[in-house]
Amino acid sequence: MSRLGETLPRFWGGEPEGIWRFFRPLLAPPIALTVRAAAYGGDRVPPEGGALLAANHFSGIDHPLIGTYCPRVVYFMAKSELFEIPVLGTWLRWMGTYPIRRGEADRESVRHSRELVRNGKVVVVHLEGHRQPFGHPGPIHYGGLMIALTEKVSVIPCALDTWRWSPTNRRPCTIVFGEPMTFEGLPRGRAGYEQAGRAVEAEIARLWRMAAQAAHDGFPDELSDGTKRSGWHCWSVDR
């Protein structure tokens, strides 16, 4: 397996962008067919430049949906225990996913995140820290925003309505991307993180309410604020 892990990446240049370009056209339709879902606001994601995509977290399907419907290649943090699982750990590394040690200050993960956004990549973070059990977005940890504020990149709020989705409970799911948010001029340190955090938390909650309404309404062509449906909806909704 170790030898395979060194050989196969050569087929896509050894870079995560290469494997995303190769596999996403193959994997996105099956994912979209497995999960009855719709996306809104995909055109709000800037086509280039570093950014922090801040999403709420309900279900194990959240990462596949973000990866499927976001028009950019995205880099995920994942709990370090996953990288100890044979095959899965190798696959995650190929995709550009990197570990974070939960429950402690993981400076290496933060350093890598900053390097990625500085180099024009999109990093996905769940600012709540873990899956939320009550069906609505929970309070966020402001420290995660340090990546964006320190590197002076935008924060893209993203809301998912996926609560209680599972292979045996294939309820409709929705993902809504918000307008990029910038926080230049905020005070340095914790005060600035908290001010930015309150704004991001409120926007994710607003987007989530629209996501939940869209799922309830059967995925209309546009949301109440005029945001249009986007992405692979033709596979997941109109099949």
Note the pLDDT tens digit of each residue in 184-206.
888 878 888 899 999 999 999 99
Per-residue confidence (pLDDT) for residue 238, from 0 to 100: 36
Q: Greatest CA span in the chain, whole angstroms?
A: 52
Between 127 and 180, whose confidence is greater? 180
pLDDT at 235 over 80: no
Per-residue confidence (pLDDT) for residue 232, from 0 to 100: 52
pTM to 2 decimals?
A: 0.87
Report the C-alpha gap between 92 and 194 in whole angstroms. Answer: 32
Between β-strands 154-161 and 51-55, what pairing exists: parallel, antiparallel or unpaired?
parallel
Domain limits for position 155? 26-236
Position 43 in a domain: yes
Per-residue confidence (pLDDT) for residue 187, from 0 to 100: 80
Position 215 in a domain: yes
Question: For the chain, what is the domain count?
Answer: 1
> For residue 37, how many other CB atoms are within 10 A of its CB?
31
Q: What CATH number does residue 150 fall under?
A: 3.40.1130.10
Position 16 in a domain: no
- DSSP for 107-161, written as a single string: HHHHHHHHHHHHTT-EEEE-TTSS--SSSS--PPPGGGGHHHHHHT-EEEEEEEE
- Average pLDDT across the chain, whole number: 85
